Amino acid sequence: MKICRWAKHEYEETFKRCPICIKERRIETDLKHKDKRDKNKKHWRDNNKKRIKEITLKYRYNITIEHYNLLLKEQNNVCAVCKRPETKIYKKTNKVMDLQVDHNHKTGKVRGLLCSDCNISYGRIKESEEAILNLLEYHIKHNV
């Protein structure tokens, strides 16, 4: 066993430095420079919106920005379900949101782009064909 010079912890000889002290110093340094780090993160995010979109599309849905734009063009910039453009607004930027990528949660396959209302509705009925048909039947029955 070795004894740490900095805080007198005992640690195994297989380590070059005391793992407890390294962890404590890392936490201390993180807290000391938290404001600067947060400022740098915010600056990067503000200046790399397109890159963030690309990374998100690739990570979540395994598609490129080009594939997203192709889907958008095929759908004439409107929702695949209601055929209307997105109307929901980001609270932070006061800009209209992009259409959301709809995908099969079991296979991961991308189906199209939906507005936030249609995406939420589709998700709430659990993507069930039976529930969709029942909803349509209900709508027809009570809208005549």
Q: What is the pLDDT of residues 85-112, one digit of tens each?
A: 999 998 888 999 999 999 988 888 999 9
Who has greater pLDDT, 122 or 29? Answer: 122
Predicted model pTM: 0.69
Residue spans of the domains in the chain: they are 2-34, 48-142
pLDDT higher than threshold 90 for residue 113: yes
Q: How confident is the model at residue 123 (pLDDT cuts 50, 70, 90)?
A: confident
Who has greater pLDDT, 85 or 11? Answer: 85
CATH superfamily of 48-142: His-Me finger endonucleases (3.40.1800.10)
Looking at beta carbons, which pairs linking 73-81 to residues 24 or more positions away fall under 8 Å?
75/99, 75/112, 75/113, 79/113, 79/114, 79/115, 79/118, 80/111, 80/112, 80/113, 80/114, 80/118, 81/114, 81/115, 81/118, 81/122
